[in-house]
Each structure stands twice: as structure tokens, then as C-alpha cells.
Amino acid sequence: MGGRFISFEGIDGAGKSTHIDALAARWRAAGHEVVLTREPGGTDLAERLREQVLHTGMDALTEALLVFAARRDHLRQVIRPALDAGHVVLCDRFTDATFAYQGGGRGFDPHVLATLEGWVQEGLQPALTVWFDLPAAVAAERRAAARSPDRFESQDTHFFERVRAGYEARREQDPGRFLQLDASLTREAVWAQLVAGLEARGW
């Protein structure tokens, strides 16, 4: 397996984290170099921006500028070097989250987001985006049991249904890039879907 960029998406509480770790372990055991990272975050600067985005009040344009600034640093310092070295990059969220949260959730102009996407990524997209899809109400039940909420996690189910619709719009624009999973099933069933989708791609 050469350099390969895979992103993982879904509304908060969809269940990405467990499966990303399991996939990293599976591929490392098979001898691959795997870089596990996340957005916003993944570098010192981007982690500091993440702290602000998750906990400081701001408008949607400011959110979008900060997540794209963090992404630019992350791409230059971590993602591109890892791909150039032939590593697998597993990234917990990427630009689809910006279209889903700032675009869908906050209602911000997707054309502005598309301009920023072009500047920041210079054509780079994940080879595959795994979308953990489930109804907002189910995710809310899972989150309630899990932790104290940040600025996004404290939003209501209407916000998360708009975020989910934002993901669906991105999938429709580039269906070949997306592996959509029914994340409302048990952990074992979700894992089975993920493995089947990867094996169908020869991974």
C-alpha cells in the first residue's frame, strides 16, 4: 500500500474514534506505516486553533477561516510529508466537516468554503472518506452518556440534522470518494461494514 489518505466523518457521537484506532492497529499489524491524526488539529499550531474553535464564541466565517488555517498547517507539516513518504494517513475529520458544520450546520456560504478549499488544499483530496452516518437523535443519546459538551456538541438535533444533510450533499458531489456506513448499528456491525468496504477497494 503506497501513500494513502483516508478521512473519517460523521456528526458528533457517530462512533468514529473506536474504529479509526482499530483500523490503524489492523494495518500496522500488517506492516504498514500509519499516521493517525485529526482536524482541527494535528500540529502544535492547529491544536491551539482547535482549542479556540471548540471553546470560544465566534461567527461562522471566523470558524471557517480558523479551521482552514489549521488545515493548511496540518497539510504542510504532517499530511503531505506522510503521503510523500508512502505512509497511510488516517484523519479524524477533514474538509467535508467544514462543509457539513460551517456550511450545513451554521448555514455559511458553500461557495466561499469551496474557494478556501481550493487555496488551502491545492487539489489534494482524501482517496476515501468513511462517513459514519446516523440520525441526530441517536448520536445525541450516545453523546449524553459520554462527556461534557463543547460549542458543537451542545447544539440541538436540528443543527445536527443540517450537518448530516451537509455530509449527504458532499457525498452526492463526489460519490466515488465516499464509503457511507450505517453507524446506528452495533459496533461489530459497523466494523464489518467498514472492513467490507475497504476490502471491496482491495485494501
Ligand X SMILES: Nc1ncnc2c1ncn2[C@@H]1O[C@H](COP(=O)(O)OP(=O)(O)OP(=O)(O)O)[C@@H](O)[C@H]1O
Ligand Y SMILES: Cc1cn([C@H]2C[C@H](O)[C@@H](COP(=O)(O)O)O2)c(=O)[nH]c1=O
Strands (E) in the chain, as ranges, are 4-9, 34-38, 88-92, 128-133, 178-182
Q: Give the footprint of ligand Y on residues 60-89 (CB under 6 A).
A: 67
- Is 105 marked as binding a ligand? no
Cβ neighbours for 72, distance < 8 A, ≥ 6 positions apart: 120
d(Cα 30, Cα 18) in Å, to the nearest integer?
Answer: 19
Interface mask toward ligand Y for 142-171; x: CB under 6 A: ----------x-------------------
Which of 5, 8, 27, 101 touches ligand Y by CB under 6 A?
A: 101
Residue 14 contacts which entry, ligand X, ligand Y, none (Cβ below 5-8 A, type-dependent): ligand X
Q: Give the footprint of ligand Y on residues 168-197 (CB under 6 A).
A: none
Burial class (CB in 10 A: 0-12, 13-18, 19+), 119: exposed
Considering only the stretches 33-41, 133-141, 180-188, 195-203, report the one whose residues sit in contact with ligand Y under the rule CB under 6 A.
33-41
Q: Can you give the binding site for ligand Y, defined by CB under 6 A?
A: 12, 38-40, 67, 92-93, 97-98, 101-102, 152
Binding-site members are: 10-17
